């Protein structure tokens, strides 16, 4: 059984007399300087404690794992204190620590024997603790997000949404947060989004790809976060961050290698608000584009005594994209030859192109998996899936070997941008208390799309990248049959030209029922989310998924394939739940077949047509759920604390 062990280590609060006097008054910075050293010192003391029952015969160890501690107070000088809690997995192994306020400890200590704590997902604090801690955090960290995209500055998908809103949530909790991403200049109106970023007039030279590259930095301070943009000519071109109408850019490895090198320099050289972030920061690196950062910390900086106190967390939003390039390119990356093994990757024989192909490659994501201090995925379900051969895309064994530092944290959403009661993109605002505006949104959407205006006809929506992942093939299979029903269907997406053409052709074939909007358009995505009755997400795999969360917040009922984050976030509708009260927020289906998807859709359509009150209850249940980033931010904080308690992984 998984268990949480509480080791009461009482840390002095931020008023410790031993804290060095700071020449500035920023309390966030002052706390940061005091706490990490105290934290480490106390942890070391803890590791020296022996468990009274930890005898040679191991009787106690078999119960509580090999590293059990006595619940013994080590020192208790202050009234306000923190307690170190130890988490043990199903096999009795120590998987991490976390700090909790003493008040919570007293409550937990009373209950801990009966509680069934879940070791895979970071445990969520009680609601009142979250409320109390919303504006104040216990230990403040300098956090550096490294990402290829961050909304609203650049966006092709969910990565941008997360990197545009999680940093703000962490900053609101008292951390100093920087987000570093490329300064994309496309030569169109999109560039206006960067107009608030000023040139820091700080150019640095980076050594990679056989020469010297000069990059600059732009900066905007917004909503408590330092948004930093790396400037280089390779980021200035039409298209999106990764490609244009001719396909994926051929030099993406170069562009994101530059981003990683620049991100490692930024905390050392940029005096943002007068002070650099310094060497003791936490790098939160997202997906393969940022995956070189933990490797650089270990291979380029630490051998010279730099970043010895830094830590890194890899966040996997999508394991299908790993940044794989020919092995020969390793010498371009600015890494010492002896670190080649960290990125080395050999394709299985069946995946090789020809008889002379040795299958040797470099794999950026693999590099981060074997060097990061901790790994997070964007839902608990997905954190398990990527350790299986079906879901790991070849990396499952490596991830399995690092299972003890792998956590799943379900994404939140930006509840200000996605709020039906104040959304400026939609025809009429509405809320769970007054749903009337939703019908107006539907009518307005039908008019805009040129569909017959019928408030009684179930309107199904799909929004997403037109990619194998999103289950477009299944939709293609099912549409002819679905179009026989009395429904309307609108799809918004861009990506694979084959799917784009199919959408156009299907629109011609079903003029009064189907609309396919090819393109990337944020206002339209809001209109579809608000105007539809049902949102379809038949993803083959889905690390978290954001559209189902947006849909539920807008009273649009999700019908989703039971996978990854979709399974974790959508609760299947059960009209016969206990006490005569229905429960659930949508429909989930499995297996991933046309039949099971159509069956789920038809349950939804029947409920919409025949059980109006059940439908409204479904809408309200979804709309009143908590989608804020507060829970996720608290969980990220715990993982960051664990990262700093352990020594650097390499």
Ligand X SMILES: Nc1ncnc2c1ncn2[C@@H]1O[C@H](COP(=O)(O)OP(=O)(O)O[C@H]2O[C@H](CO)[C@@H](O)[C@H](O)[C@H]2O)[C@@H](O)[C@H]1O
Instruction: Point out which residues bind ligand X (CB under 6 A).
Output: 157-159, 161-162, 317-318, 378, 411, 463-465, 492-494, 520-522, 525, 542-547, 565
Token duo for residue 488: 């309307």
Cβ-based nearer residue to ligand X, 320 or 599: 320
Cβ-based nearer residue to ligand X, 158 or 323: 158
Residue 317 near residue 166 (C-beta atoms within 8 A): no
Cβ-based nearer residue to ligand X, 162 or 600: 162
Three-point CA angle 527, 533, 537, nearest 5°? 85
Q: Shortest approach of ligand X to residue 275 CB, angstroms? A: 31
Cα–Cα distances (Å) from 339 to 260, 273, 297, 314, in that order, read 16, 36, 12, 18
Residue 392 near residue 319 (C-beta atoms within 8 A): yes
Q: Shortest approach of ligand X to residue 56 CB, angstroms? A: 47
Q: Shortest approach of ligand X to residue 381 CB, angstroms? A: 11
Cβ-based nearer residue to ligand X, 42 or 525: 525
Distance (Å, whole) CA 629 – CA 631: 6
Q: Shortest approach of ligand X to residue 411 CB, angstroms? A: 5
Q: Shortest approach of ligand X to residue 154 CB, angstroms? A: 12
3-state helix, strand, coil in the chain (%, to 5): 40, 20, 40
Distance (Å, whole) CA 532 – CA 512: 16
Nearest CA-CA partner of 281 in 292, 266, 296: 266
Q: Shortest approach of ligand X to residue 135 CB, angstroms? A: 25
DSSP 8-class letter at 157? S
Using a 10 angstrom Cβ sphere, with 0-12 exposed, 13-18 middle and 19 or more buried, the burial of residue 462 is buried
Handedness of CA 351, 352, 355, 359 (dihedral sign): negative
Cα–Cα distances (Å) from 613 to 26, 102, 489, 558, 581, in that order, read 54, 46, 23, 17, 12
List, in sequence order, every residue forming a beta bridge with 4; answer none if it has no partner.
87
Q: Shortest approach of ligand X to residue 251 CB, angstroms? A: 22
Phi first, then psi: what are they for 648, rounded to 5°? -55, 140
Distance (Å, whole) CA 474 – CA 481: 12
Cβ-based nearer residue to ligand X, 160 or 342: 160
Residue 136 near residue 174 (C-beta atoms within 8 A): yes
Q: Shortest approach of ligand X to residue 57 CB, angstroms? A: 47
Q: Shortest approach of ligand X to residue 600 CB, angstroms? A: 19
Cα–Cα distances (Å) from 361 to 330, 341, 368, 446, 489, in that order, read 9, 11, 15, 49, 43
Q: Shortest approach of ligand X to residue 158 CB, angstroms? A: 3
Q: Shortest approach of ligand X to residue 493 CB, angstroms? A: 5
Phi first, then psi: what are they for 79, rounded to 5°? -75, -45
Cβ-based nearer residue to ligand X, 457 or 536: 536
Residue 218 near residue 228 (C-beta atoms within 8 A): yes
Cβ-based nearer residue to ligand X, 139 or 544: 544
Cβ-based nearer residue to ligand X, 248 or 606: 248
Q: Shortest approach of ligand X to residue 74 CB, angstroms? A: 39
Q: Shortest approach of ligand X to residue 281 CB, angstroms? A: 22
Nearest CA-CA partner of 642 in 455, 445, 372: 372
Distance (Å, whole) CA 278 – CA 271: 9
Give the distance, in angstroms, between the CA of residue 598 and the centroid of all CA atoms in the same chain.
30
Cβ-based nearer residue to ligand X, 543 or 558: 543
Cβ-based nearer residue to ligand X, 144 or 148: 148
Give the distance, in angstroms, between the CA of residue 450 and the centroid of all CA atoms in the same chain.
36
Cα–Cα distances (Å) from 74 to 46, 104, 303, 326, 390, in that order, read 8, 18, 35, 54, 47
Cα–Cα distances (Å) from 483 to 48, 459, 493, 601, in that order, read 68, 12, 20, 12
Residue nearest to ligand X (CB): 157
Q: Shortest approach of ligand X to residue 284 CB, angstroms? A: 13
Q: For the chain, how many residues are written?
A: 650
Q: Shortest approach of ligand X to residue 10 CB, angstroms? A: 37
* Residues contacting 44, CB < 8 A, separation 6+: none
For 234-237, which contacts have Cβ atoms below 8 Å and span 24 or more sequence positions?
234/258, 235/182, 235/183, 235/184, 235/185, 236/184, 236/185, 236/187, 237/185, 237/186, 237/187
Q: Shortest approach of ligand X to residue 278 CB, angstroms? A: 28
Distance (Å, whole) CA 567 – CA 586: 11
Cβ-based nearer residue to ligand X, 65 or 565: 565
């Amino acid at each position: 059984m998984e268990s949480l062990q509480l080791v009461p280590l009482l840390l002095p609060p931020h008023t410790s007399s031993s804290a060095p006097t700071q020449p500035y008054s920023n309390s966030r910075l002052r706390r940061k300087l005091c706490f990490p050293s105290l934290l480490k010192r106390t942890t070391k003391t803890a590791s020296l404690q022996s468990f009274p029952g930890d005898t040679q015969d191991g009787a106690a160890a078999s119960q509580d794992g090999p590293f059990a501690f006595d619940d013994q107070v080590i020192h208790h000088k202050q009234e306000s204190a923190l307690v170190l809690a130890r988490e043990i997995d199903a096999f009795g192994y120590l998987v991490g620590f976390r700090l909790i306020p003493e008040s919570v400890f007293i409550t937990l200590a009373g209950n801990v024997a009966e509680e069934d704590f879940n070791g895979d997902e970071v445990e969520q604090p009680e609601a009142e603790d979250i409320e109390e801690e919303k504006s104040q955090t216990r230990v403040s960290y300098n956090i550096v997000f490294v990402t290829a995209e961050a909304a609203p500055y650049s966006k092709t998908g969910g990565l941008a949404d997360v990197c545009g809103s999680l940093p703000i949530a962490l900053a609101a909790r008292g951390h100093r947060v920087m987000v570093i991403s490329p300064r994309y200049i496309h030569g169109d109106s999109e560039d206006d989004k960067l107009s608030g970023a000023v040139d820091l007039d700080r150019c640095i030279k980076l050594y990679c790809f056989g020469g010297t590259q000069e990059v600059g930095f732009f900066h905007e301070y917004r909503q408590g976060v330092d948004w930093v943009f790396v400037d280089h000519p390779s980021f200035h071109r039409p298209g999106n961050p990764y490609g244009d109408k001719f396909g994926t850019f051929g030099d993406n490895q170069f562009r994101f290698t530059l981003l990683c090198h620049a991100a490692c320099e930024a905390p050392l050289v940029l005096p943002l608000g007068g002070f650099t972030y310094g060497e003791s920061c936490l790098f939160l690196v997202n997906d393969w584009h940022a995956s070189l950062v933990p490797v650089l910390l270990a291979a380029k900086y630490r051998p010279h005594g730099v970043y010895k106190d830094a830590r890194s967390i890899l966040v996997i939003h999508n394991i299908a994209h790993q940044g794989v390039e020919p092995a020969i390119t390793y010498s371009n990356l600015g890494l010492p030859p002896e670190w080649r093994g960290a990125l080395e990757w050999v394709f299985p024989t069946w995946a090789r192109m020809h008889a002379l192909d040795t299958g040797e490659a470099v794999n950026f994501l693999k590099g981060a998996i074997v060097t990061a201090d901790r790994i997070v995925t964007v839902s608990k379900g997905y954190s398990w899936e990527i350790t299986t051969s079906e879901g790991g895309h070849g990396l499952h064994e490596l991830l399995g070997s690092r299972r003890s530092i792998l956590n799943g944290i379900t994404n939140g959403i930006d509840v200000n941008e996605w709020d039906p009661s104040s959304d400026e993109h939609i025809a009429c605002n509405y809320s769970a208390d007054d749903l009337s505006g939703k019908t107006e949104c539907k009518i307005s959407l039908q008019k805009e799309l040129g569909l017959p205006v019928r408030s009684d006809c179930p309107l199904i929506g799909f929004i997403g990248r037109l990619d194998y992942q999103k289950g477009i093939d299944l939709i293609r299979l099912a549409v002819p049959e679905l179009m026989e029903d009395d429904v309307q269907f609108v799809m918004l997406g861009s990506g694979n030209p084959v799917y784009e053409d199919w959408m156009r052709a299907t629109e011609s074939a079903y003029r009064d029922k189907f609309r396919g909007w090819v393109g990337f358009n944020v206002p339209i995505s809001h209109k579809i989310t608000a105007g539809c009755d049902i949102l379809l997400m038949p993803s083959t795999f889905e690390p978290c998924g954001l559209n189902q969360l947006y849909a539920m917040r807008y009273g649009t009922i999700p019908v989703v394939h039971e996978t990854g984050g979709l399974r974790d976030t959508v609760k299947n509708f059960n009209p016969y739940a206990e006490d005569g009260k229905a429960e659930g927020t949508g429909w989930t289906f499995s297996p991933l077949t046309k039949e099971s998807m159509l069956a789920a859709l038809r349950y939804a359509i029947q409920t919409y047509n025949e059980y109006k009150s059940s439908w409204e209850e479904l809408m309200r249940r979804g709309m009143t759920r908590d989608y804020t980033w507060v829970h996720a931010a608290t969980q990220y904080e715990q993982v960051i604390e664990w990262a700093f308690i352990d020594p650097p992984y390499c």
